Chains A and B, each alone.
Chain A
């Protein structure tokens, strides 16, 4: 798994290793096949912790951009990362790696279910997996937030906590929270740029 951790990082500590097309495909196929309960956690694990193709800060930036673009976040992420390291073909390869295996799998599962479906048993298993997946997202967000709190960028942690509190705890409507928080966050970032 950690085959690239001893890559040429010693000579070029600033530039992360640049994956080949086949490495890109394999990494994204693994992200999708491991991705029970959402692919964000597995995506960060692969990109930042295992392959070290991105720094934690680069990952946060690309993920933030994808979250505000329409469409599935990590699908957009795969296209942006793939094309950044290997051009348009790289974007396509990462995309096919991410979507191909689960598409094939879900069609097989769908066909099996249509014939012999035993959803109650699967559902019971899913209850346990969903509970674990919630925990995995929590630890992933905590790891993602580390650079923000470490840099002490003016207002960053406050904005993150306020957004979290307004939506996660107070359960205010998302559009209203964004209309208030987003301009403030962008203005703060503009001032400290």
Chain B
């Protein structure tokens, strides 16, 4: 019992602290989470971490739910809840107050300039992340074809991307990709 409380405490402070440095999304924290969970705490082996990361990618939803599964692996359902709350709670509170301040000063010149300055940089970063994802995913011609076809179809046609994902999953499953 005392041991469980200690583990939960470790999960809580580690993920709360890590989230504060995770600028640009949860994935930027993955190397640090890997170091702590595998090398420092010995909560899991390297292959187990890879499996957990893979399962999180397979599951729809924000990338941050990899943290839920790590918490679950370490301390069951309570661990899952504690880890997720710690990872999202502090930063959500911060977002709440920043968002409110931002809305309160809507139209103020510093606010217009801040938004106008951040938007182009963010778009550049997001476009770059698309290329990084594509580079990691597309090591066969079929995979490149899937990426290009998805980009073109979802840009020009009002097709639900879920259908495209289903076809892509089947292509992957059958070993064509």
A interface vs B, CB < 8 Å? 32-42, 45, 60-77, 79-80, 83-84, 88, 91, 95, 98-99, 101-103, 105-107, 109-110, 113, 117, 119, 121-145, 148, 153, 155-157, 159-164, 166-169, 174, 178, 181-182, 185-190, 192-193
A72 and B22 within 8 A (CB): yes
A69 and B150 within 8 A (CB): no
List which B145-167 residues lie within 8 A (CB) of chain A: 146-152, 154-155, 161-162, 164-165
22 sample A-B contacts, Cβ–Cβ < 8 Å, listed by A number: A36-B60, A40-B126, A71-B90, A71-B91, A72-B26, A72-B91, A75-B26, A77-B95, A79-B96, A105-B61, A110-B69, A110-B73, A126-B57, A127-B177, A133-B133, A135-B134, A138-B147, A144-B126, A160-B124, A163-B125, A164-B127, A186-B117
If over half of A's interface residues share one DSSP class (helix, strand or loop), that class is named, otherwise mixed; here it is helix
Shortest B169–chain A CB gap in Å is 4
Chain B residues lying within 8 Å of A102, measured Cβ to Cβ, are 59-62, 65, 68
B115 at the interface (CB under 8 A from A): yes
Name which residue of chain A comes closest to B25, CB basis: A73
Chain B residues lying within 8 Å of A130, measured Cβ to Cβ, are 57, 133, 136-137
Chain A residues lying within 8 Å of B43, measured Cβ to Cβ, are none
B171 and A128 within 8 A (CB): yes
Q: How far is the CA of A164 from the CA of B123 in the complex (A)?
A: 8
Name which residue of chain A comes closest to B59, CB basis: A106
Given contacts A71-B91, A164-B124, is CB(A107)–CB(B80) below 8 Å?
A: yes
List which B79-116 residues lie within 8 A (CB) of chain A: 80, 84, 87-88, 90-92, 94-96, 98-100, 102-103, 109, 112-116
List which B39-74 residues lie within 8 A (CB) of chain A: 51-52, 54-65, 68-69, 72-73
B118 and A103 within 8 A (CB): no
Q: How far is the CA of A116 from the CA of B169 in the complex (A)?
A: 20
Q: How far is the CA of A105 from the CA of B151 in the complex (A)?
A: 28
Question: Which residue in B69, B99, B162 is a CB contact (below 8 Å) of A65?
Answer: B99
B172 at the interface (CB under 8 A from A): yes
B interface vs A, CB < 8 Å? 19-26, 51-52, 54-65, 68-69, 72-73, 77, 80, 84, 87-88, 90-92, 94-96, 98-100, 102-103, 109, 112-134, 136-138, 143-144, 146-152, 154-155, 161-162, 164-165, 168-173, 175, 177
Given contacts A130-B133, A139-B155, A168-B128, is CB(A123)–CB(B119) below 8 Å?
A: no
Nearest first, the 5 A-B pairs at minimum CB distance are: A102-B61, A163-B124, A71-B91, A128-B172, A135-B150
B77 and A107 within 8 A (CB): yes
Q: How far is the CA of A174 from the CA of B124 in the complex (A)?
A: 12
Chain A residues lying within 8 Å of B123, measured Cβ to Cβ, are 60, 64, 141, 144-145, 148, 160, 163-164
Q: How far is the CA of A32 from the CA of B68 in the complex (A)?
A: 14
Chain B residues lying within 8 Å of A140, measured Cβ to Cβ, are 154
